[in-house]
Amino acid sequence: MTSSGECLAVVVDPGPRRTRVRVCGEIDMDDAVEVREDLTAALDASRNGLDIDLAGVTFCDSSGLHVLLDLNEQAREAGKTLVLSALSPTVVRLLHITGTRGVLTVQDQLASNSPAPDEGRGGCGSPNRPGAPAGFRMRVRRYGPTVYLAPAGELDLDTRSALDGIQVDLDGVDVVACDMKRLTFLDVVGLHGLLNLTRRLAERGIAFFAYNWQPQPRRLLDLIDGLHPPAGRDSPTRLLRRLQDFAAAARTAGAAKARPNVPRRTAPPPH
């Protein structure tokens, strides 16, 4: 089955001495900066260094390789170590053809006999795969019990299936926060996908918050609520507006709390 859309996930699991990081998806020029930020923050916060699992990386170009090499040097200068605990065939081939395998520490040489991948970009959202539409990316980061989602591009009929994989690795998660700043377009199919995601999360007791809605997706939410007035107090898109509603309630409560402190005008005493 061809996967629609591109997905990059970075899961950080801090430990008392070392921090484990799992990276899945594609690491290219577009994602390398953010991957560098995530790994650098994890390295800085760790006591002895990082153990990085790259078994789920489906594509990695020179940008991703430079991130690993630079991070390895930063770890050495800080008196820490960076260990690659698992490699995908894609990463194995990259280290082999660039001659950088001896520079990085690979735990027990786990991938020494791994086969080289086929030419081209394989895996989730590969542009070279027939029928894999471009224009949508999903970035996933996990820090302990909190998962951060950052969809970018257009979420529609062609890319809606990219939401299905987000259910993976949610054990122990309490909150999923979704930054909609880069979601430029949303159609009804994509909206239903988001609503189904929030319902599945709610069934598992996981809170979902979406924020930074852009004009077009926000107009669609308003349109759906207008076409389907709620029978009770809840609108059809309520689960996608929880953070917005919370912020509005907080502003209202803050204004109400401030009113008693406003000095009232009193008539001057009679002379």
- Assigned domain for 184 exists: yes
User: What residues make up the domain containing 221?
Assistant: 139-255
Neighbours of 156 (CB within 10 A): 19
| DSSP secondary structure code for residue 182 in this structure | E
- The pLDDT tens digits along the chain (271 residues) read 334 456 788 989 899 999 999 999 889 888 888 899 999 999 999 999 999 999 999 999 999 999 999 999 999 999 999 999 999 999 999 998 888 888 999 986 544 444 433 333 333 333 333 333 456 888 888 888 888 998 888 988 888 877 776 655 678 889 999 999 989 999 999 999 898 888 888 898 999 989 999 999 999 988 888 877 655 556 778 778 766 544 444 445 545 555 555 455 555 555 5
91 and 160 assigned to the same domain: no
As a whole number of angstroms, the distance between CA 109 and CA 86 comes to 9
Contacts of residue 229, defined as CB under 8 A and 6 or more positions apart, other chains included, come to: none
Q: How far is CA 81 from the centre of its chain?
A: 26
Instruction: Report the CATH number that the domain containing residue 236 is assigned in CATH.
Output: 3.30.750.24
Query: Does residue 64 form part of some domain?
Result: yes
Residue 45 in domain: yes
DSSP string, 4-60: PSEEEEEEEE--SSEEEEEEEEEE-HHHHHHHHHHHHHHHHH-SSEEEEEEEEEEEE
Angle, CA 211 vertex, CA 203 and CA 44 arms, to 5°: 90
Residues 220 and 162 in one domain: yes
Total domain count, the chain: 2
Residues 199 and 93 in one domain: no
Tell me if 129 is assigned to some domain.
Answer: no
Boundary of a domain, candidates 109, 131, 157: 109
Question: Are 145 and 251 contained in the same domain?
Answer: yes
Q: Does pTM surpass 0.85?
A: no
The beta strands (E) that lie in the chain are given as 6-13, 18-27, 49-60, 81-87, 105-106, 136-143, 146-155, 175-179, 182-186, 207-211
Note whether 203 and 241 are same-domain residues. Answer: yes
Report yes or no: 237 and 195 within 8 Å, Cβ to Cβ: yes
